[in-house]
């Protein structure tokens, strides 16, 4: 057997015992004994080549034969080793023909530690040396404890021994500061019964509250009246996270101001009444601090009136109004002239139709009663007829140009007659002229109502013809129209113009 065997607490362990037999030797029986502290031995198991295996009641179910077949391998298996299994074991062999043999081994049971990390009191900034955490491990043999961390601290280790195991406790001390908050502190335990190092990690929590400050005035100094989007932000950090409270010294917060977390928002343009001393109070369960900011509001200068700009605007408005009025007047005048022209045209057509009918009626009457006078006075009236033609031409020109008068209704009679065919118009005009002159030379007939009416009309026609003659001149027995800017030839023949 080996001199010693190591077992891990709770694990199975083999207690080896073997015999190297020579030819002809046989192992008849193997007996396992455990020697107590008092020197007394206790039998565990008996392995016999003929009768098999016998296990004592105290180890029933925990001790088994390791091998099969010949007893030259007399090893046994001890299951679920405990600290009470530690001690000295003896293996006794009975052989034939060599006799008896025995050997001893020491069993050592390792107890792996179960480390425990205990936290110290709450860490607060400003404290002196304070226990951050302690780590305890108990096992057999004594475990080893170390610390892994990036923070500065001091460790203190204490050990204590028991009958079958030993424990160790290591304490880690720090001076709390905000820089330690959130850092890792790890307890590392090493032991022969552990295949790997065992680590327990703790994250430090340090209560603190930083100094507060207000952001929002550094760049602009004083604010300006009417400024939009102004705000004040309170800067502060701490553990636990702090809360923020805004107020104004000796006054309430102005209307239109809203608190959103650590920020004071002005949701409207600034007013001069917004100036004052604003206080931000930062607090948590560890401490409370406050900071003040003096807010000044600059008043806007009085607006200066730009006379030139106002004048230009006024001129522009007046120009637009006058242009609108001019366009309106033009539209109204155009409509008025259209209506007036339409009315005059209609009236002219009515008068022209009525005058033409009256002229035709008089001409027919003159031809039937004064044929003799026409023959006698044909030559003298030739010239006058030409004058009448020219006068009628002038009258027609005046009428075509729109220069109507209220006393020239009879003039349209001559124009109407001249509107006929060229030859007919010429002889009709001559007849009308001769008729008027003949009636002037003859003694007046007995007055009758109809005759008086006709005479009055003839006198009017004569006056109209004479008036028309003012537009002509006589040269070598020929009537020629006076030069005008709107003269018109009625007929292209030489004797009628």
Task: Set out the domains of the chain in order of their start, with CATH numbers.
Answer: 4-110 (2.60.40.10), 120-208 (2.60.40.10), 213-295 (2.60.40.10)
Tell me the backbone φ, ψ of residue 282, rounded to 5 degrees: -110, 130
Is 286 within 8 Å of 210 (Cβ atoms)?
no
Return the pLDDT at 486.
58
Peptide bond into 141 cis (omega under 30): yes
Spatial CB neighbours of 474, under 8 Å, sequence gap ≥ 6: 383, 387, 480
| 10-residue stretch averages of pLDDT, the chain, 497 residues long | 90 92 87 86 89 89 86 91 90 90 92 93 93 94 94 92 86 94 95 92 94 72 82 91 92 90 90 90 92 86 68 88 92 89 85 77 60 44 40 39 38 37 40 44 54 74 72 72 59 45
Please tell me whether residue 317 adopts helix, strand or coil conformation: helix
Return the pLDDT at 306.
64
Using a cut of 0.75, tell me whether the model's pTM lies above it: no
Return the pLDDT at 484.
61
Return the pLDDT at 304.
61
> Whose CA is closest to 487, among 475, 472, 469, 476?
472
């Amino acid at each position: 057997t080996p001199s010693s065997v190591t077992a891990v607490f709770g694990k199975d362990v083999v207690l080896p015992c073997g015999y190297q037999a020579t030819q002809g030797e046989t192992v008849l029986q193997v007996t396992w004994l455990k020697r107590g502290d008092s020197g007394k031995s206790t039998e565990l198991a008996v392995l016999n080549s003929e009768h098999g295996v016998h296990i004592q009641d105290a180890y029933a179910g925990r001790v088994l034969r390791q091998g099969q077949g010949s007893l030259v391998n007399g090893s046994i298996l001890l299951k679920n080793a405990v600290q009470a299994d530690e001690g000295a074991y003896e293996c006794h062999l009975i052989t034939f023909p060599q006799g008896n043999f025995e050997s001893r081994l020491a069993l050592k049971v390792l107890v792996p530690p179960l480390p425990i990390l205990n936290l110290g009191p709450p860490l607060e900034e400003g404290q002196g040396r304070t226990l951050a955490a302690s780590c305890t491990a108990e096992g057999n043999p004594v475990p080893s404890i170390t610390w892994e961390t990036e923070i500065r601290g001091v460790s203190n280790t204490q050990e204590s021994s028991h009958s079958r195991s030993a424990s160790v406790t290591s304490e880690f001390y720090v001076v709390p500061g905000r820089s330690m908050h959130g850092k890792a502190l790890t307890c590392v335990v090493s032991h022969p019964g552990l295949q790997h190092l065992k680590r327990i990690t703790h994250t430090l929590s340090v209560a603190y509250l930083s100094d507060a400050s207000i952001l929002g005035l550094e760049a602009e100094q004083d604010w300006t009246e009417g400024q939009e989007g102004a705000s004040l932000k309170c800067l502060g950090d701490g553990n636990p996270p702090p809360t923020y409270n805004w107020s104004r010294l000796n006054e309430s917060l102005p209307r239109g101001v809203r608190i959103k977390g650590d920020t004071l928002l002005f949701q409207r343009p600034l007013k001069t009444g917004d100036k004052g001393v604003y206080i931000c109070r930062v607090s948590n369960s560890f401490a409370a601090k406050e900071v003040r900011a003096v807010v000044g509001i600059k008043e806007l200068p009085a607006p200066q009136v730009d006379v030139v700009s106002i004048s230009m605007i006024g001129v522009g408005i007046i120009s637009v109004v006058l242009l609108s009025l001019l366009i309106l007047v033009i539209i109204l005048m155009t409509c008025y002239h259209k209506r007036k022209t339409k009315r005059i045209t209609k009236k002219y057509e009515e008068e022209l139709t009525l005058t033409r009918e009256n002229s035709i009626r008089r001409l027919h009457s003159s031809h039937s009663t004064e044929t003799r006078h026409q023959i006698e006075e044909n030559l003298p009236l030739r010239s006058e007829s030409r004058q009448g033609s020219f006068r009628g031409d002038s009258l027609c020109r005046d009428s075509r140009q729109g220069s109507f008068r209220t006393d020239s209704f009879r003039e349209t009679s001559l124009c109407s007659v001249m509107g006929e065919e060229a030859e007919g118009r010429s002889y009709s005009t001559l007849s009308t002229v001769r008729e008027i002159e003949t009636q002037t030379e003859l003694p007046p007939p007995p007055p009758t109502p109809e005759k008086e009416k006709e005479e009055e009309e003839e006198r009017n026609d004569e006056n109209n013809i004479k008036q028309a003659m003012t537009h002509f001149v006589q040269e070598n027995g020929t009537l020629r129209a006076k030069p005008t800017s709107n003269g018109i030839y009625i007929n292209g023949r030489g004797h009628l113009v």
